[in-house]
Structure 1
């Protein structure tokens, strides 16, 4: 079967498709002056160019089909135009007038059911651009995502973070690297995703079920790390980035290069991130052994022409993450940077092949990936052996989807995806989870129809099959217990339906109803042994976790104001969670078991962005996040973040002499007390955090240098985040942290 599919796919490489071009002139809408250096980009083709000194541009090698062209320039509103190339003789002239930045307009996103603008999606997708990420004073890449309303982070210090979307986390949230699910032993809050943001252009976040598009694990939402655009035709581009963190004495340095010569594109990047133990808020002292060090690299190469794009990516990440656990806190009494005792030693290799083929009204996406993830836990000279855990997870993924445009109003896709995964334990004595094999196969389809310009309707269906095999193995204390062989199948049917109703040009309403599922992971089915400071026992008879969520959203967009409100209700049948029991081991160690119960989560987010017409330099933002999560049998769900209120005021000057864009921003977060803890958690008091940032883009001759200075927890508040696992050992969250970021984009003449 797989061989036939590969032959079918590669046969398309030899087909010839007529190329087209789009050209035009880009000018300032106020004075009609040409705008040179505007970035012009076609998302689906990963192809772009820049306007010349006269504001003129040309996009060549475009196939037949419908595409979105994006025009972006510093200090101006981003413009998006839908272009339909219908025949080989068609000539498209597209002149663009750009307005100075007021409030950012709708973006083109790729993580939803179909590539399109935000206003066409039946689900709202939050985005974080590179500039947004660099303005967050966090030493690790994943921690920057908690700036999005509805997104939080389970953390064990600044180097270990696991995302939470609307109260769901771990195996309930799917993280994609360039569209590929990351395989990362994601059954525990101590296992962070191994990515540092190299080669990433932006982050797209779906809050809510996305199983229909991505399968098991997307019941809570999806975080997609989208690759950056390829270099402009005939250019070599680069970026040097340096960050310094006062609290962790941290340094982050990266260098990235990319080029494009006659359709052959390539890229390379490397990054080093080194941080010492962090200082707690309120002068509470050093959080010993929270140090972390990572080394990352990224390579890519490909070919982009009128028939499509064919690209290969390789990502490497090596992380050493200190663990502030009781045995380590007895040994580490001096602040340092080097990992010596009690740390995770994690290595990840990821190879991705992303391919897009354009055949008129038919577009084919074919993605293949292989990931090798190795997790080691290093103890100390006081443990029986230094290396306590050594597990290797190997995963092969494939996803092939065909999208057909029936008419200008109707399109649909049909696809299938699968995964083959193996976990193997090395010679280390602790087998947190046993050797196991897992195989997935699924078929999915969705259709969209637009009724005039007012109503968009989507509906889809998906079937999933999973087979799990775990051989007979030893477990328990000193491997004294024989666990029987596990051989199970899990099947599921998912469905979703949604609509976007444009009440007028400025106001739209979204409604989405989706079912989703998650199959029990290997740990939940088979675990029987020590994990951290507790003894955990799985249940081989666990059923699929299934949910049904209803989402309702309202979006208002005027020239000077945007307002969003989103409400949801998520009912989960057979919710899987880890629960303490009354039993203990002979030494008093608590025993926890995986259980299932019907549960529900409800809440929403509301936000407003106001830009006064009389003060074009001022931006005001306010958003509020509310969440309530409970088991039907009584009691509250674990790892549920507290409700939050965020306010931000920013002063922005687009251009003044050699200063291209300058800003000053002050923000504050009020986090309410979390007084609905689960049975093995404690309540957490509320707290207030003050943050500030200042930055500018300075032009020196023809070179742009970006500076920003960001301060988080400016008042050095002493507080516990409810989702910090360091709370259990009495360690407060990070105190005041001032981050200096220097970013230098440059070009190299080929």
Structure 2
């Protein structure tokens, strides 16, 4: 593991120091107007600036090589080009075409820095600010606005992503450029990431093991952190939101500044929510939660070398819903509850040579999970102070330490071919300190090697690659032989080859077609291999199987996308064949009143897709009509439905946007959305059917100039009609406890 890191530092000693300058001017294609405040950016170099009042911009100290260049501005089609240094014109003249289509962004979760429309693999992207404007309470809630993405929730404070019917260890989460490891196998283990300091969310819907290895069998949720300020700029902002349903609030404040070489940012956030109210006026007891979050970063850039170091600390105090009440009570979590402290430290460095580059990403995550439970004493009389001491001790206490590394070398480019080779892996230890053992002490080591290429032709793009992974897993024995919850030690090795092939073609000037075929794999997790006891919160006695094999899948994706200035539609379809799918099957037995479930394997398949329509008619460019439908079906080979498959749903939105709104505001928007969720009658053996329901939401907001400062005000209402409903992916559904009723949110952001 140390060898590639040493090689990286040796190579950095030979960085090419030749530096170049780029000057340019941007005008509107329709009337030649010089465009001010256009964002221009080199994604790979992390260099950005904006045009002045004459539409001009300038970059200094650009290293030799070929780099993607982006120019984006509201109301115009995003410009994308590859610029060579040396070899570019003395003055770059760019014209932007008017378009009512939203600005496109560069996709970061795939390796070749393409715009969404240029990417061979279909990747969904959404800005975090947009998700907040729709009334989302946290990150887990916000991602459900992305087609094909849902969330398994335990109340409002705990949620984890579901991508096309797959979740938990089948979906990989990336943050700060590294894979997030936080005991994600558990039903009650949420994301553990605050949305403050997250700039955008990208979703790969399908196997991404070629790029990310094990656990990316179902897809990837990639969280892009807040960017540093442009060179020479600084910014401070504060934001707060009040949520009426929970009498909750969220607040964050951040500051950032950049010089020619050094840059920094700091952001702190606080969230506090009381129990939420359902549509029938009752409160879900102990659904309250509090989170504290700190994100910091420093960056350095000079002479063909860029580097950043980021740190995130998150502390979550999460109540576990435990009943229905008539009032909310106070904000302190009751028993049972979780206290989770998480440290994320990451370093991303890249060196640029004449026509190639070397990128190294290192990460360390420490997850400290404590779960506190009710303690009942029927006959034993405790001495004074004993009960308090016992309640303060965590019944379940696990510490997970993970070191990640990812080294990628981009080979010298040609005019049409780009290739990346790399080595990637992690070293992980899990340790128990509580009275209960959910999974044993264990050590996991991963290593993977990969090669992937992008071949650009005139109207076609091909992307292909191959990867090999090896995982070793060793767990310690828990208990003594003959005890009911004895767990034998496990020593397993898992190996897998995976490949991906994709084709993107311009079917016409306005239509794009994509076909992707990819394989993925997932090594069984510790819970599936070693469980032998009651899984608290699920009311199940789970028994693992130490001989489980890798899950393996092959998925084919077909996508069509049509866009012109005022009309667009898309259709995405997929078929996912999973071999040796791991699932829980009830045995019909009871132990200590809990039903017994065994982990088993059987082949499975999932299929479905998403279709959507977006109309912004001329000359009413401020008017947007959006409709989408998403569906997924999952079943075992014997015809039994898979658990936690989202219900099919329609979403219809009427949205208006004005560059200059009422009351002299700079920008304004308003929307109304109807989300219709169909009946889910395809359920597993331990699920019940879920009736159909519809939720109405609306929102509005404006941005104002206050001298040199900017103030944004926003109002949103979710579940406006106070519908009493239970979502199929709610983990408190078996108790009959409904989801949140009407929630009206008021928010403000001041930027200095």
TM-score of the aligned structures, taking structure 1 as reference length: 0.95
Match of 2:189 among 181, 188, 191: 191
2:713 and 2:99 map into 1 onto residues whose CA distance is 20
1:640-687 per-position Cα deviation (integer Å, ceiling 9, x unaligned): 000000000111111257311111101101100000110000000000
Question: What is the CA-CA distance between 1:91 and the residue it aligns to?
Answer: 4.8
In the TM superposition, residue 138 of structure 1 has moved relative to its aligned partner by 2.2
CA distance in 2 between counterparts of 1:177 and 1:475 reads: 40
- In structure 2, C-alpha distance between the alignment counterparts of 1:658 and 1:68, rounded to whole Å: 37
**C-alpha separation between the residues in 1 aligned to 2:507 and 2:54?**
39
Equivalent residue runs for 1:490-639 within 5 Å:
490-532=494-536, 533-585=539-591, 587-639=592-644
The reply to whether residue 421 of structure 1 matches residue 419 of structure 2 is: no
Q: What's the CA shift for 1:101?
A: 5.2
Partner of 2:527: helix, strand, or coil? helix
Contact 1:68 1:108 in 2 (8 A): no
Match for 1:434 among 432, 440, 450? 440
Alignment pair present for 1:363 and 2:345:
no
Report the alpha carbon displacement of residue 99 of structure 1 after superposing the two structures with TM: 5.1
1:389 to 387, 390, 396: 396
Aligned to 2:308: 311
State the shift of 1:475 in Å: 7.7
Return the alpha-carbon distance in structure 1 between the equivalents of residues 330 and 124 of structure 2.
37
Residue 118 (1) aligns with residue 123 (2)? no
Number of the residue aligned with 2:225 = 227
Aligned partners of 1:702 and 1:302: how far apart in 2?
27
Instruction: Measure, in 1, the Cα distance between the counterparts of 2:520 and 2:12.
Output: 34
CA distance in 2, matches of 1:716, 1:37: 42
* CA shift digits 1:540-596 (9 cap, x unpaired): 0000000010100001111111111000000000001122221111x3211111111
Shift of 1:381: 5.2
Measure how far apart 1:411 and its partner are. Answer: 1.1
3-state DSSP of counterpart to 1:406: coil
SS of residue matched to 2:528:
helix
CA distance in 2, matches of 1:649, 1:150: 20
Aligned-pair CA distance for 1:743? 1.4
Counterpart Cα distance in 2 of 1:696 and 1:100: 23
> Which of 318, 322, 325 is residue 325 of structure 1 equivalent to?
322
Paired position in structure 2 for 1:711: 717
Q: What is the CA-CA distance between 1:699 and the residue it aligns to?
A: 1.4
Which position in structure 1 is the counterpart of 2:700? 694
Equivalence for 1:212: 210
Output aligned runs, 1:171-186, within 5 Å.
171-186=169-184
Query: Is residue 280 of structure 1 aligned with residue 287 of structure 2?
Result: no
> Which sits farther off after the overlay, 519-528 or 38-47?
38-47
Aligned partners of 1:243 and 1:476: how far apart in 2? Answer: 54
1:299 aligns to 2:300 (yes or no) = no
Which segment is superposed worse, 226-235 or 293-302? Answer: 226-235
Structure-1 residue corresponding to 2:461:
456
1:25 deviates by 2.3
Shift of 1:239: 2.0
Q: What do the CA deviations read for 1:362-412 (whole angstroms, capped 9, x no partner)?
A: 121110000000110012354783321000000000001111243111111
Deviations 1:136-190 (A, max 9, x none): 2122122100001100110011110111000000010001002211001011221
Does the 8 Å CA contact 1:318/1:345 hold for their aligned counterparts?
A: yes
> How far does residue 129 in structure 1 lie from its aligned partner after superposition?
1.0
Equivalent-residue separation in structure 1 for 2:412 and 2:144 (angstroms):
37
In 2, are the aligned partners of 1:370 and 1:396 still within 8 Å (CA)? yes
| Aligned residue number for residue 650 of structure 2 | 645
- Indicate if the aligned counterparts of 1:325 and 1:729 stay in contact, CA closer than 8 A: no
Per mean C-alpha deviation after superposition, the further-off stretch among 259-268 and 654-663 is 654-663
Distance 1:229 1:13 in 2: 27
Greater shift after overlay, 231-240 or 413-422?
Answer: 231-240
CA gap 1:113/1:511 in 2 versus in 1, 3 angstroms: farther
C-alpha contact 1:63 1:85 (8 A) present in aligned 2: no
SS in 2 for 1:68: strand
Residues 457 and 500 in structure 1, CA contact (< 8 A), matched pair in contact too = yes
Deviations 1:105-163 (A, max 9, x none): 54311112421122222211111113212212122122100001100110011110111
* Gap runs ≥5 in structure 1: none
> 634, 641, 664: which one pairs with 1:658?
664
**C-alpha distance in structure 2 between counterparts of 1:730 and 1:417, whole Å:** 45
Aligned to 2:374: 380
Cα drift, residue 209 of structure 1: 0.8
TM-superposition CA deviations, 1:304-333 (whole Å, max 9, x none): 23413101000000001110136xx69x97
Aligned residues between the structures: 736
Partner of 2:333: 339
Could you tell which deviates more after superposition, 665-674 or 101-110? Answer: 101-110
> Is 1:408–2:415 an aligned residue pair?
yes
Residues 529 and 548, structure 2, Cα contact 8 Å, conserved in 1: yes
Q: Contact 2:16 / 2:64 at 8 angstroms: preserved in 1?
A: no
Encode CA deviations 1:232-264: one digit per residue, 9 max, x unaligned: 111221221111111111110001111111220
* CA separation of 1:735 and 1:520: change in aligned 2, threshold 3 A: same
CA distance in 2, matches of 1:108, 1:46: 12
3-state SS in 2 of match to 1:8 = helix
**1:501/1:37 CA distance change after superposition, 3 Å:** closer
User: Take 2:556 and 2:246, find their aligned partners in 1: how far apart are those partners?
Assistant: 42
TM-score by length of 2: 0.95
- Give the deviation of 1:37 after TM superposition: 2.8
Root-mean-square deviation over aligned CA pairs: 1.9
